[in-house]
Every structure is written in structure tokens, then in C-alpha cells.
Structure 1
Amino acid sequence: MYIIILILLFTGCSAETPTYKPEEQITPLHIWMDLPQRDGEYIFTYPFTNPSSYAHIRYETLPMERVFWFSPDSFTIYHMGFPITEPIVNYSTYSDGLTGLGTQLCYIYQGHVGDTLEIIGCGIDICDTTRFIVE
């Protein structure tokens, strides 16, 4: 009995266990707007009867994926005499749990008329961007 145990201890199993490494897949992210386009850029028509407005940013990724939002463009408000500057889009959102679709809003005010604004969305693996002109 001891001889069998010693043989098993010194020889071990001869079969090697294969290691499985799943292929790394990049989580997709696609950002767009439901606006008309001109020369590859979306056109947002500002409603001049309002002091500000919002543009809808649409995106598609995997279901329940978090998307972080950034923009180099900003707006400034004055609160009690002090300027407060914020990006037109920030924070993060989660895509729909079934389809992977989602919407984010970005703030637009009259000072943006005539500007080209950029929105950047970043998922886990990849970032995508969209630009639009405020007319």
C-alpha cells in the first residue's frame, strides 16, 4: 500500500491539464446623433426662443455597460457673482439592459451658436466621439 502511494507521489499524473485562455474581445461603442448632417458633421438648430437647450447623444454598446462622458467644450454661469464653468456633458450613463442602446444629454446655450462642439464617450475598452455644429 505504501509503495503505491510513494509511486503516485513521485510520478504524479502524466496527463497535462490544458489551460484555456478566452480571446479578449473589445467591448464595442458607437456614438451618433439623430440630426441632419452636412460634410460629415451633425447640425443642431438652436431654438432661439429658449435661453438654453439640450442635444440628445445616442449610443450603442453591450447591455448594461457604463459609458463615461467628456467634452472639451464648456459653458459658464454666474452664481452670486462667481463664474462656474462646466463641460457641456459629464458623468456617466448605463446602456439598456436588453439592447445596449442609450441616450445622454448635453447642454447648449446661446453662446454656443456658431461653434462646433465635440462629445467623447468612453466605454471599458474604447472611446468614440461625435461633433456637431450649433446653428
Structure 2
Amino acid sequence: IGIARAAAKADMPVVISFTVETDGRLPTGQTLKDAISTVDLATGSAPTYYMINCAHPTHFDDIFDGDATWIQRIQGLRANASTMSHAELDNATELDDGDPRDLGERYAELRRKQPQLTVMGGCCGTDHRHVREICLACMAVA
């Protein structure tokens, strides 16, 4: 809320990105719906849009099964390559880089459900291979 208010005061566009746990909720336990609704209500919908970051698509893909207004506010993804939880990743002794092709296909499936998802990238464990597969898979959807 503070970041969105400061950006609005400076007449600067802002995008807010939330991370979620394996259950699709923020680390605080709040749902993504509640987080977005709370920020929008407190700021007059100041953020240009929202993103999800630092979680594998399997941790949040079920939220995209509707067409509610708050879902339409999510326009970007920066997912982890790994399906591990944050705690598991923190305790891992080796990088889990997941499956680049599977990650790309998961992005494409989300884009098929929600065409407003137009900002795509990677977070923990991703590299050029993942970004390439995301691009290839999502180009086929566009």
C-alpha cells in the first residue's frame, strides 16, 4: 500500500508483485485476492497491474480458473523453476532448476486461460533455457 501510494503521489506508474507459498497464499496467510483487493481499495487501484513472483505455477495456477476483476488485475508472472517450497529451497544444497519445457508449457496454459498475462519472466532457478521455453510456448498461444 505504501509503495502504491508513494508512486501515485509521484505520478509514477507502479506494478506490485506478490510471492505466494505452495498453497497459493502470501507468506502472511492472506489470499492473493485479499491482498490485491486490499491494495486497490486503499489506493484507488493505483497499481497499473499486479504480478506473481517467486513461486512455481503449480502453487498458484488454480486461482486463474475464474474471470473475477481481481484476477484480471494480474498481468505478469515471474515463476520459480522448482516446485519446492520456499523452506525447501532455503535448505537445499543444490540448485533445483526444474524442467524448462514444463515451465514453458505451464506459462502457456495460464496464458490460454488468462490472455491478459503478457509480462513473463523467471525467478529462482530459471535461466536462459527457461525464458526461451516460456517464449516459445507463449508465442504459440498469442
Q: TM-score, normalised by structure 1?
A: 0.21
- Higher RCO (Cα < 8 Å, 6 or more apart): 1
Whichever of the two has the greater Rg, that structure is 1
- Higher percent of residues as strand: 1
Q: TM-score, normalised by structure 2?
A: 0.21
